[in-house]
């Protein structure tokens, strides 16, 4: 079957010899329709920067959506025709798997049924059924929306918080979308691209600031100094964390979601006075699964406008255009279709 392969030197290619997975008793076979390119993890794997993904060639993709076409005898959670998210592909003798969502077929696990039968299980809690009315492309975007929504919940955000989000990429905009959807109105954003910041304003950001406008940024940071009660850093560089320490309010919180792979944090502790630093770097499965219905409902009723977050949709055969758009910073979320719908 077809799928997107990354070689050790970072070369990306469309292979046609990936072994077809066969579902076990607690698994369902999924025909993948859409998979998003992850601007973070997928690109780090291509650059060879992700420590836990160092076996090549490997099948990319962890933001997939597709329909169940076959079920194992012990499966209770899925039925034929269900749209599901996060199907994965087991490694084979020929290819490793970095979750493997960029393949024609994948597997989902009925983790609950395994647990009921006293079996240990691999990831499966966030492999959930998507309600009717949500397209495959929207369903694959739900993964980033769920991850960021669960992170917001872990931050214990308060309605009265004065929030600054740093980073106008897909993760930052998904955080913004979730916050606005949940009724937080005092949200500002700092970013690098006028086009993304315009989208931020459409989503509901109260104010935006472009890093490249030095005078405007200096004015913005001076105005915000001591007022920011939640500084949400989706970049996670030493520069952005240090910037947050300079403007955070007494008893405020700096939440870091995007810590760069391999970074060492060397901070001036003399600045660390009466505020909290929280790292919410990785999704927690049990927390992410709780947000599934919330995100689906928000998409269905129009509170979350997925069109603002998805900049490109290509058939899988045009995969290189999608990866190039991300590398060249021309894209937000990019979906590749295996015959799915937008």
Model pTM score: 0.94
Sign of CA dihedral 265, 266, 268, 273: positive
pLDDT higher than threshold 60 for residue 261: no
pLDDT higher than threshold 90 for residue 340: no
What would the pLDDT profile of 137-178 be if each residue is shown by its tens digit? 999 999 999 999 999 999 999 999 999 999 999 999 999 999
Band (pLDDT 50/70/90 cuts) for residue 265 is: low
Closest residue by Cα to residue 319 from 11, 1, 9: 11
- Residue 287 has a pLDDT of 82
Q: Does the fold of domain 150-279 match that of domain 3-130+309-337?
A: no
Average pLDDT over residues 35-63: 93
Closest residue by Cα to residue 280 from 332, 236, 227: 236
- Domain positions in the chain: 3-130+309-337, 150-279
CATH superfamily for domain 150-279:
NAD(P)-binding Rossmann-like Domain (3.40.50.720)
Tokens 């979320």, residue? Answer: 333
- Residue 123 has a pLDDT of 55
Cis peptide before 278 (omega within 30 of 0): no
What is the rounded CA–CA span in Å between residue 204 and residue 179? 9
- Residue 124 has a pLDDT of 57
Query: Could you tell me if 59 and 98 are in contact, meaning their C-beta atoms sit under 8 angstroms apart?
Result: yes
- Residue 69 has a pLDDT of 98
| Secondary structure (3-state) at 109 | strand
What is the distance, to the nearest Å, from the Cα of residue 137 to the centroid of all Cα atoms in its chain? 14
Instruction: Give the chain's mean pLDDT.
Output: 93
- Residue 235 has a pLDDT of 92
Closest residue by Cα to residue 86 from 44, 133, 139: 139
206 to each of 212, 222, 261, 340, how far by Cα in Å?
19, 17, 31, 36
pLDDT higher than threshold 70 for residue 342: no
What are the start-end ranges of the E strands in 159-300?
Answer: 163-166, 187-191, 207-210, 228-233, 248-256, 276-279
pLDDT higher than threshold 60 for residue 203: yes
In angstroms, the first-to-last Cα distance of the chain is: 22
Partner residues linked to 36 by β-bridges: 63, 335
Query: Could you tell me if 136 and 331 are in contact, meaning their C-beta atoms sit under 8 angstroms apart?
Result: no
105, 261, 212, 197: CA torsion to nearest 10? 40
- Residue 210 has a pLDDT of 98
Band (pLDDT 50/70/90 cuts) for residue 274 is: confident
CATH superfamily for domain 3-130+309-337:
Medium-chain alcohol dehydrogenases, catalytic domain (3.90.180.10)
- Residue 51 has a pLDDT of 80
Average pLDDT over residues 269-295: 82
- Cβ atoms within 10 A of the Cβ of 91, count? 14
What is the distance, to the nearest Å, from the Cα of residue 61 to the centroid of all Cα atoms in its chain? 11
What would the pLDDT profile of 75-107 be if each residue is shown by its tens digit? 999 999 999 999 999 999 999 999 999 999 999
Q: Which residues of 307-338 are buried (b: 16+ CB within 10 A; e: fewer)?
A: ebbbbbbbebeebeebbebbeeeebbbbbbbb
What are the start-end ranges of the E strands in 218-291?
Answer: 228-233, 248-256, 276-279
What is the distance, to the nearest Å, from the Cα of residue 305 to the centroid of all Cα atoms in its chain? 16
Query: Could you tell me if 253 and 278 are in contact, meaning their C-beta atoms sit under 8 angstroms apart?
Result: yes
What is the rounded CA–CA span in Å between residue 255 and residue 302? 28
Sign of CA dihedral 204, 234, 36, 291: negative
Partner residues linked to 106 by β-bridges: 30
What would the pLDDT profile of 175-188 be if each residue is shown by its tens digit? 999 999 999 999 99
What would the pLDDT profile of 107-127 be if each residue is shown by its tens digit? 999 988 998 999 887 655 689
- Residue 269 has a pLDDT of 67
Q: Which of 85-94, 201-210, 216-225, 273-282 has the lowest mean pLDDT?
A: 273-282
Q: At what angle do helices 292-300 and 136-155 cross, to 10 degrees?
A: 130
Query: Could you tell me if 171 and 100 are in contact, meaning their C-beta atoms sit under 8 angstroms apart?
Result: no
Q: At what angle do helices 214-224 and 238-247 cross, to 10 degrees?
A: 50
What would the pLDDT profile of 222-237 be if each residue is shown by its tens digit? 999 999 999 999 998 8
């Amino acid at each position: 079957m077809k799928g997107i392969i990354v070689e050790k030197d970072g070369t990306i290619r469309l292979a046609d010899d990936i072994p077809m997975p066969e579902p076990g008793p607690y698994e369902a076979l999924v025909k993948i329709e859409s998979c998003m390119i992850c601007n973070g993890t997928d690109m780090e794997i291509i650059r060879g920067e992700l420590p836990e993904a160092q076996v090549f060639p490997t099948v990319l993709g962890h933001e997939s959506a597709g329909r169940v076409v076959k079920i194992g005898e012990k499966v209770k959670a899925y039925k034929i025709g269900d749209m599901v998210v996060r199907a994965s592909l087991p490694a084979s003798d020929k290819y490793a798997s970095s979750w493997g969502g960029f393949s024609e077929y994948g597997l989902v696990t009925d983790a609950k049924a395994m647990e009921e039968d006293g079996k240990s299980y691999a990831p499966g809690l966030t492999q959930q059924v998507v309600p009717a009315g949500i397209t495959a492309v929207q369903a694959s975007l739900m993964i980033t929306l769920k991850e960021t929504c669960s992170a917001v919940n872990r931050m214990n955000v308060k309605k009265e918080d004065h929030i600054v989000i740093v980073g106008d990429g897909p993760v930052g905009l998904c955080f913004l979308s979730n916050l606005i959807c949940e009724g937080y109105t005092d949200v500002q954003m700092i970013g690098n691209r006028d086009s993304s910041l315009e989208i931020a304003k459409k989503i509901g950001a109260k104010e935006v600031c472009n890093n490249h406008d030095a005078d405007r940024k200096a004015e913005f940071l001076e105005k915000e100094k001591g007022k920011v009660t939640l500084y949400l850093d989706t970049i996670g560089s030493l520069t952005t964390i240090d910037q947050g320490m300079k403007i955070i309010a007494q008893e405020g919180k700096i939440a870091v979601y995007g810590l760069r792979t391999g970074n060492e944090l060397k901070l001036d502790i003399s600045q660390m006075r009466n505020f909290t630093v929280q790292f919410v770097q990785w999704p927690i499965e049990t927390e992410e699964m709780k947000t599934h219905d919330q995100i689906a409902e928000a998409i269905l009723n129009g509170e979350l406008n997925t069109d603002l977050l998805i900049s490109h949709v290509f058939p899988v055969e045009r995969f290189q255009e999608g990866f190039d758009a991300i590398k060249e910073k021309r894209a937000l979320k990019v979906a590749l279709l295996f015959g799915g719908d937008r």
